[in-house]
Amino acid sequence: MSQIKISEAKSVQFPMVKHASAVGWEQLTPEEAEGMRRGRANMLFPEVLEDKLREFNSWLTEDQARAIVESIEALPATIEGNREVLRWLRGERQWNDENEQRRRPVQVVDYAFPDQNALQVTWEWKLEPPARAKGNRADVMFVVNGIPVTIVEHKNPKDRDALTKAVTQLRRYEKETPELLTQAQLHNETHLIDYWYGVTWNVNRRMLFKWKHTSDESYRDAVQAFFEPHEFLRTLREWVLFYVEDGETRKSVLREHQRGAVDAVVERCADSTKNRGLIWHTQGSGKTFTLLTAAQLILSQKDRFKNATVILVVDRTELEGQLKEWVDRLLGDMQANDIPVRRANSRDDLQDIFDSDFRGLVVSMIHKFETIRKDSSDRDNIFVFIDEAHRSVAADLGSYLMAAVPNSTIIGFTGTPVGGTRGGASGSFQIFGAQDENGYLHKYSIIESIDDETTLPIKYMLAPSTMSMEPEDLDEQFYALANDEDVTDIEELNKVLQRAVGLRTFLGADSRVKQVAGFVANHFRENVDPLGYKAFLVAVDRETCAKYKRALDDLLPPEWSEVVYSKNANDVIERPDVHELQVSDDREKEVRRQFKKADQQPKILIVTDKLLTGYDAPVLYAMYLDKPMRDHVLLQALARVNRPYVDGDGVQKKLGLVVDFVGILKELHKALRFDSADVEGALEDLDVLMADLLVKIGTASTEYLQVESSQGADEQLESLVYGKFLTEEARKEFFDAYRDIESLWEVLSPSAELRDHIATYKRLSVLYAAVRNAYSDAGGFTADLEHKTKRLIEESATQDGLGRFTKVATFDVDTLEALGKDDGPPEEKVYNLLRGLRKEMEDNPAAAVVLQSIKDKADRVIENLEERKVSGLAALDELKAIAEEKDRLREFAKQAGLSGRAFGVYSALSAEPALSGLKVDIQHIATTIEVAVDQFPHWKQNADERRRLRSGLYKPLLDNKVPAKACNEIIENVMNVLEKV
């Protein structure tokens, strides 16, 4: 039985449209949609939008509705323009009511009654802006009340890199035709297996999220759950966020765990019987956005929550500083939407907020509650959200807060698990979690986030024992001191370490610093920098940070590293070296920003107190840990390396790496006193990966590298490529196995343990490159390989003759006859010929229309070859017959004097069943049609020209006595041909 061929258009796009229509979306054909948007140069359905504006806003005149449509159309194709479109969609924009002489909010979408909206979906959405050299096409577009809101990219489910290609395509749209993304707020990527979503204007692999909200994980359920009208409109209204990071406007959308937590918080705040709750969302899962969105929903529902006050409590200046830029945009949006915002800049300021009965959002640090009067407000619609709650409850400051607002609802948020530690068990669970059976109002664990690819697993390795402390010394000088009190943040940890004089002396000794710096420099050069990633070096104190900077400058370019630590007024006298290396506030901001960019310096940050919480740099891969930590502080610090990242070549960061110079990770049960279920699998020894790699390399060698010893090297490689991997299933199995090995090799090399396996891995990599290129139109034999592997085999590309696996042969009779005289496997010749045919079609779009039928026949030959229905020699014979047909077509076109476009039309007409048996001059009709097309040079962009061209195509058909009832379908097919040339 032949294998079912999977087509993008028929097997992927249309099922999505069908599934969406089942939950309330109206299907529009591409032609209907193009007519409604008045040609390919436009994006909106203006009549639909005008009608809905008049329907939802009876006070608008016809001219005003049209003016609003024109205002939306005129918005720039930028992220700021996109933000303005969302403000219109959310009803945040106003227009002048001429009767009442006042500005009124304009409703564009009815969120309360979704069926009152025009929800439409179409496919093959082609945009050809007049000012652009070329246009682009979206696979599927979802439109709400005439405004495109979601663009969808579909890929063939057999394509291994489908997701990466979809993301790349959307980013290309942003550069080539940004108008395609001016209005759309969301994007989907799918290939019938996985279903992903994200936001436009921030399209990257790191901001792409897997959609899991389905009943049985089926494709249909995924589509219908995402586009269910009420939930989808809620996504537009509540879950899309714009913010500012490093001075640039960014955009995000809440993930499912964030949505679940927001709903849980809002419902708890509305529950008159419960007034506490604990949210644990692991580090890196977007806790701040969750917290602020919940606050916004409560404050926007003024009737439900009786014009409430939400107090956002942070516990350190560092975090308030983070909020300063990162969240200011969100706070500004709240103010723009009639939600007052105040920052408590002092204790007196906070007291005044209570005394004045302020309603809205309050941002305060926890220590400002210390002198606030008891019972400052007895209202029950005060809602307190405490960020990093495990810290706040570790001191008496939480008691001051609770006494000040005794009837408030208090929700604690934490990025680390709270069970299992002394502070967590006696603090957070008791104060916040007592009203929930499992202690948490909502939980998103470390393992869940890794499974969702929200965060990455963290692997660690222990530095040579000559640099680390003896376990008994660590017990005596660190754990014994740390056990005396709860250590929940860096400042408390530093107080403990201040008493550990012997430990700091050992870690900061000049000879040891030099030794560690040498290891770090070598490891970074060989293991981290080649991947394009960056690193933290975490020292025990500021003095040791300065020493490491001096030592690294002797080993690496000075611009590669920078120190970032807190200031002390006495440094200039007591610690001159610390003072000399201290960066200014402006320089620190610049360093923070530049470190996040892979192509800018510095590459290594030397830190001890700053940047270990709240600082997200996805390019950060390695942490050289030379400071004793435990519990919350350790987990928060380690989480700096767990952020997903994809580089400019599309290579994904696989994990975060920690190199432990202290020895604290030797005994994880001491370092992380949490419930084992909360952290198990999130932090593992690198030795586990090494063992896995060695097993997989051995298995792959046995499975894929066994060849006839009597053959030469070239023959061995050819016999493997065209013998073992002829079927697609065999290739996929090998690709999957190799990719696992390559991922591990990139992380673990160089290593002495790999010394005896380099030759085997190199052979596997060469084989992978050869197979990949032999059976595809790959862009070069090393294009798909990762950094270290690419360098390993680049020289082999020539030595091993990999170029022959990317050879392109002209698809004609002369070439086939010449190939018959050459040595080499016939299968290789078949694939080289097919590549040549594809290239000819790509280089000549006009000829591609004619050659498509030739290619279809060649593809069937390939299919029969892969299914072993024919031999390689038989396949060459069949291709020769097809090439003869191609040469006859070429000769006919030449003799008839037909252009490529006219010949494409001729070929399409020749295949028309409606014309068979009729005595019509097809060649004359094709020539006449070409003349008609020349009269309308802008027909692809201009809807009026397109209609006139379509009408003009009837005449040559009717003049040749073609029945009128057959003309519509024939013209439709001819128009499709003309589209492609």
Domain coordinates in residue numbering, the chain? 8-233, 254-451, 458-681, 690-806, 813-896, 900-980
Mean pLDDT of 704-719: 71
Query: What CA–CA distance (Å, rounded) separates 40 from 129?
Result: 7
Element (H, E) at 281: strand 276-281
DSSP structural state of residue 139: E
pLDDT digits (tens, 9 = 90+) for 57-104: 999 999 999 999 999 999 999 999 999 999 999 999 999 988 888 899
Query: What CA–CA distance (Å, rounded) separates 224 from 207?
Result: 22
Mean pLDDT of 505-530: 95
Options 3.40.50.2300, 3.40.50.980, 3.40.50.300, 1.10.1200.10; CATH of 458-681: 3.40.50.300
Please check the confidence at residue 809 and state whether its pLDDT lies above 50: yes
DSSP structural state of residue 180: G
CB half-sphere exposure, 218, CA atoms < 13 A? 8
- The confidence score (pLDDT) of residue 12 equals 46
Pairing of strands 458-462, 656-660: parallel
Burial class of residue 875 (count of CB atoms within 10 Å of its CB; 0-12, 13-18, 19+): buried
Residue, of 784 and 656, whose pLDDT is higher: 656
CB 142 within 8 A of CB 121: yes
Q: pTM, whole model, 2 decimals?
A: 0.80
- The confidence score (pLDDT) of residue 80 equals 95
Please check the confidence at residue 745 and state whether its pLDDT lies above 70: yes
Element (H, E) at 724: none
- The confidence score (pLDDT) of residue 674 equals 73
**What topology does CATH give the domain 254-451?**
Rossmann fold (3.40.50)
Query: What CA–CA distance (Å, rounded) separates 199 from 188?
Result: 9
The answer for 481, left when phi > 0, alpha when psi is -120 to 50, beta otherwise, is: alpha
Q: Give yes or no on whether 254-451 and 458-681 have one common fold.
A: yes
CB 401 within 8 A of CB 366: yes
pLDDT digits (tens, 9 = 90+) for 844-902: 666 665 666 677 777 787 777 776 777 777 777 777 777 777 777 777 777 777 777 77
Listing DSSP states for 71-108 in one string gives HHHTS-SSHHHHHHHHHHHTT--EEEETTTTEEEEPP-
DSSP structural state of residue 393: T
Query: What CA–CA distance (Å, rounded) separates 205 from 185?
Result: 17
* Coil vs helix vs strand at 302: coil
Mean pLDDT of 687-700: 92
Listing DSSP states for 202-246 in one string gives S-SGGG-EE----SS--HHHHHHHHH-HHHHHHIIIIIEEEEEET
CA distances (Å), 57 to each of 506, 765, 769, in order? Answer: 74, 64, 61
Query: What CA–CA distance (Å, rounded) separates 189 from 210?
Result: 9
CA torsion sign for 433, 437, 441, 444 is: positive
Please check the confidence at residue 7 and state whether its pLDDT lies above 60: no
Q: Residue 402 has which token pair?
A: 């609770």
Listing DSSP states for 890-903 in one string gives HHHHHHHT--HHHH
pLDDT digits (tens, 9 = 90+) for 825-837: 777 776 677 766 6
Instruction: Report the chain's C-alpha Rg in angstroms.
Output: 33
Please check the confidence at residue 786 and state whether its pLDDT lies above 50: yes
| CA nearest to 234, candidates 306, 312, 144 | 144
Element (H, E) at 316: none
Residue keyed to tokens 């849980």: 264
CA distances (Å), 355 to each of 310, 349, 376, 379, 398, in order? Answer: 15, 10, 7, 12, 20
Mean pLDDT of 228-247: 91
CB half-sphere exposure, 233, CA atoms < 13 A? 22
User: Given pLDDT bands bounded at 50, 70 and 90, which one contains residue 422?
Assistant: very low
Percentage of the chain surpassing pLDDT 90? Answer: 39
